[in-house]
A and B are shown apart, each in its own frame.
Chain A
């Protein structure tokens, strides 16, 4: 998950888990673990897929599958979202639980963080209650070594009764031993004695009343102890997936219910109610984990995390927390803007040289004028624009942001901002979903799954569009550069751009807070819910690998999108600009109709039309504007931003137009992919419609007020 080609754009829409085996004898391996333990790195390196690995809890929010070949066999790995427990509290935890329990994996690898092993063991113990085929992967051994934490893997394996393999997931060698252990386990079976957590005598007695009956009815289909415990807990949310899996509604089965009621009675006699049953079960798990780890882990309590504490003091303290955050944002933008300058110009020159060559080719072949127009002036030109203007900033911004994520900085942002989110009755984790929205709003929407409360999740979904995605960045940067900074490339210019862009983003963030608050007071009334955010240890990102992979990934993504979205859009615009109905072209008709409305908002008909036609993807808005102006006016050689500025000025653009366009770009309906994602995530057409209406309404109001007040003063 995260921000990669495979998870942004159309791929963000979750189509559900569709397990695909190549051969019937392929083995399915579930990959489970706490959030943030390097599970996705293990997955990536075993399968060769490129699933992004960031350093904040909640990164993987959907399941992904990949194939790992080992010893000539196929292993289908299913990467589950990180969970603290298989007794789920959120949508993503349910996904993990459902697969582990009902997906019938042949084995499960539970990945643990060596620097936090005791807490991780809770999940291992729960996994062992579901299936005996568990391999424990103790990952991040290099981090543990750095912190002087020593783990006796053999002793741990002895105590747990299952294979325990230590790994450094970044290094593929250790992963081979992991797969070997999995292979051996499936082929030869384990030593037969995986550890089973013992609860207190009353609970064990109750389990004893149910387990044999369950075993009799369902055999080896499901672990009887596990099911007995879940029935005793009266976990009705489990009923649906359970019934589907067993093909029988357990809670309707007379015999089972009879035994269950008897068991509940016996528990009550022992002083255990249904409420404190869960307490006791969880306590037993926690204390068992503690017991198993004694003697297995050795570390110096006072020094092992001192470096992390020092960094946190810097990043989250009262005096330095916020300034650093804003500075960080500005630096990221500044590097993006100044770094993208030359590559953009170079690409533009190259691609427009290409356009001239294509024109020559068409002339040489004697191709008809309209064909040249459609293919070269329409399709090719828009694609050329998108690639030369969109690609360099994206290729710089994404890697930088990814590095920040890998470091583990983003949860600290959520930590700093939570108080203000709480004031708006929203959740601090919304900061994380907004961060994802910077990359791609669709990915940001999916990321909202990390917010437990449905009400707060909806608020995050409805406001995610106030954060401009990478498709809108270049639009904002281009307008800022043309109208407010000057197209000369210098240190001052790029720094000013960065500052202005940061201000625009801050405006988006402020609007997010404001609208969240309004939503909480009106259609999404409610109180702030509970909130527990893990601040993971800082980890050194693999800088080289991240940069290379991200640039490659972004290039493919932009090129792909350019072909799929920009090219057809270019064709459509060219057609509209060259098909005449009555006295005007189709384009002129449409923009004339929209013109009075557009002018009210400080823009014009062409700009508004461009936004509407930009529904498939935000990055084509400016190309559409350019094309529309060029179609109605004289042909201009468009080689760089200064000639673009001239084109805009010739068509009536003033600084007011520029600002209004930027404001509308920030506050308008989500792109088609995002809308699709919202529909999928909320399951509701009503909320999808509202998610389109809210930012649009804000945009209309803000632009109207700004444009008319600004005109008053001019």
Chain B
């Protein structure tokens, strides 16, 4: 069982969401765009500064900051 957080993925890697540790409106916002338990996520591209990072979530490309992606557990 390789449990890690979303921000540990490198470009090109894919994983499934295990658990969302975020709370409040950010949690809901991510759920609204489809990031729920079991969703497959692909890490696409880091920005020039290294953060934020673009992820492929249910067909859309969403950029997330590491503060938030570190709170998404994936396997």
Contacts and interface: CB of A to CB of B under 8 A. Distances in A.
Contacts, number: 125
B48 A530 contact: no
A455 to B, nearest CB: 14
A116 B52 contact: no
Contacts of A119: 33-34, 57-60
A118 B25 contact: no
Nearest to B69: A532
Contacts of A561: none
Contact of A419 (B29, B47, B61, B62): B47
Interface residues of B, number: 36
B28 A318 contact: no
B52 A115 contact: no
A316 interface: yes
B47 A530 contact: no
A363 interface: no
B75 interface: no
A89 B47 contact: no
Contact of B45 (A278, A313, A537): A313
Given A418-B51, A419-B47, A118 B28 contact: no
Interface string A519-536: 000000000101111111
A279 B46 CA distance: 29
A289 B34 CA distance: 10
Interface in A84-138: 84-85, 87, 89, 115-119, 122
A589 interface: no
Contact of B26 (A308, A419, A530, A536): A530
Interface in B7-58: 22, 25-34, 36-37, 39, 44-52, 54, 56-58
A415 B33 contact: no
A282 interface: yes
Given A316-B48, A317-B45, A122 B32 contact: yes
A84 B59 contact: no
Interface centre among B51, B57, B59 (most CB of A within 10 A): B59
Interface in A416-464: 416, 418-420, 422, 428, 452
Q: Which of B25, B34, B54, B57 has the most chain A CB within a 10 Å cutoff?
A: B34
A420 B29 contact: no
Contacts of B26: 530, 532
A309 interface: yes
A532 B36 contact: no
B65 A531 contact: yes
A322 interface: yes
Contact of A418 (B31, B33, B52, B60): B52
A286 interface: yes
A681 interface: no
A316 B54 CA distance: 10
B55 to A, nearest CB: 10
A72 to B, nearest CB: 40
A312 interface: yes
30 contacts: A84-B33, A116-B58, A116-B60, A119-B59, A122-B34, A279-B27, A282-B32, A282-B36, A283-B37, A286-B34, A286-B39, A309-B44, A309-B45, A316-B47, A415-B47, A415-B52, A415-B63, A416-B49, A418-B52, A419-B47, A420-B49, A530-B65, A530-B68, A531-B63, A531-B64, A532-B26, A532-B68, A533-B62, A534-B62, A537-B61
- Return the 10 tightest CB-CB contacts between A and B, nearest first: A419-B49, A530-B26, A85-B32, A321-B48, A282-B31, A535-B61, A533-B63, A84-B32, A116-B59, A318-B48
Given A282-B31, A418-B51, A418-B52, 13 more contacts: A85-B32, A116-B60, A282-B28, A283-B37, A308-B61, A312-B54, A318-B46, A415-B63, A419-B48, A532-B30, A532-B63, A533-B62, A535-B61
